[in-house]
Chain A
Amino acid sequence: NAGVTQTPKFQVLKTGQSMTLQCAQDMNHEYMSWYRQDPGMGLRLIHYSVGAGITDQGEVPNGYNVSRSTTEDFPLRLLSAAPSQTSVYFCASSYDGTSSYEQYFGPGTRLTVT
């Protein structure tokens, strides 16, 4: 199993550009989530999904969209990038449809918005 994969590993965007961060898992996990990690602030939840076709907002959803058309994929879209979105983004999945169990994290995407 590849586990949780994220692409790209690094990305530089200009203000106003849009892009999609890809996340995929091959463990048939129902729960998937996106976090951003900023210095001194830990990880903050952006969006999450408890199964295909179901998504919900986390703590910091503004400026991001998600969809979950399959169990395996959970892409994160930045609609119009802003410097405040410079961060490291982690995707995670968990084997049942809740956040109550161990989450498996991807390797992260380091995004810089200039």
Chain B
Amino acid sequence: AQKVTQAQTEISVVEKEDVTLDCVYETRDTTYYLFWYKQPPSGELVFLIRRNSFDEQNEISGRYSWNFQKSTSSFNFTITASQVVDSAVYFCALSEAERQLTFGSGTQLTVLP
């Protein structure tokens, strides 16, 4: 069965600090997909990134970067020079067998001014 663990329940940083959100997953499949979603205080879910299991290349998008390591079953998310608007709950998710998406329990990030 697939499983996603986000061990950091809450993180608090001061604006302009870098912060990394951890995500560890378990799956028996060789083909799977990993995602990050953001849920700001307004409550909607915003897609950030999708990665398939055959692409371990790291991704950078502006202040956001993702480090995918199959050897440690991790898909970590780093925000560089954090801003108050980054305050949100961030979810890591895993799609296995193309049928079901399993979410981690989320990390509440608070960026203080």
Interface residues of A (CB under 8 A from B): 33, 35, 40-45, 48, 50, 56, 58-59, 88, 90, 92, 98-105, 107-108
State whether A99 touches B98 (Cβ < 8 A): yes
B interface secondary structure, majority: strand
B residues sitting closer than 8 Å to A (CB atoms) are: 4, 6, 9, 33, 35, 43-45, 47, 50, 52, 91, 93, 95, 98-106
Whether A40 contacts B105 in the complex (CB less than 8 A), given A105-B44, A107-B44, comes out as yes
Known: A107-B44, A108-B44. A99 touches B101 (CB 8 A): yes
By beta carbon, the residue of chain A nearest B52 is: A100
Q: Do A43 and B91 touch across chains, with their CB atoms under 8 A apart?
A: yes
In addition to A43-B103, A99-B100, A102-B50, 7 A-B residue pairs with Cβ atoms within 8 Å of each other are A43-B45, A44-B103, A45-B101, A59-B100, A88-B43, A104-B47, A107-B44
Check A103/B98 contact, CB under 8 A, given A42-B91, A44-B103: no
